[in-house]
Structure 1
């Protein structure tokens, strides 16, 4: 018996697909509280966790720029509810992510949260991406192959 190669349809994502799942994971790891604990506070009248959450939702919905992520906050019914009818502008996203918050401390806190749950424990050899250096970007070729990652080595976490 020969199996044929499967045919995958390239379906477009709806303006909210995956957001409920992401929100439940966000709550499980209590990332909203982590933003506050690391001093990453409200920006442009929007809670920092909500700004980051909306941006991540945009990236998952294949919106590769802050401008498209800002537009996505207007298109997604779920984000409209979370934002209580407000929107996040492109400039608000840009200023938020370029502000000198303790992003590395947040990333370390995120890893600690993952370690609190058996299903997300890290094992030796696991790699955690801390930023977008793996994403195709004009400046990405200037980074070493593991820049912006943490690699788990025999019970310790090593920054690369």
Structure 2
């Protein structure tokens, strides 16, 4: 009989609630791009839906959930990583039949460690975005992004390395 390998199961939820203090100068829409770190220093890029609004607050209330199964050290590694949130603007009027690339409005990072150390491993916060470009939009005050993050560690699974049986 082989030495048992213990795997941890993990589920995460990211919720993009709203962006605040943004006003349009031209036609277009905003979306949130976020990057999740994986092992081997790779990143997964995800985009929210495009939101078009004439108000200074843009509401998404969009949820992204994912699950992981891996050795316990994978969870320890995740605690050292951050989630990068970018508020981006895209012109929705085609030029020469194509919609142009998006432009970075502002960026913020939240460490997973903060989520793991928060009560019930969940948090909701409003982060100030570091602005990169203001020629497309008018800033009422520094733009911010309201987000929520949640982590659940439901169970550990024992796998026999030799037989690969789940106990």
Given the two structures, how large is their TM-score scaled by the length of structure 2? Answer: 0.24
Between Structure 1 and Structure 2, which shows a larger proportion of helix residues? 1
Between Structure 1 and Structure 2, which shows a larger proportion of strand residues? 2
When Rg is computed on C-alpha atoms for both structures, the one with the higher figure is: 2
Given the two structures, how large is their TM-score scaled by the length of structure 1? Answer: 0.24
Higher relative contact order (CA 8 A, sep 6+): 2
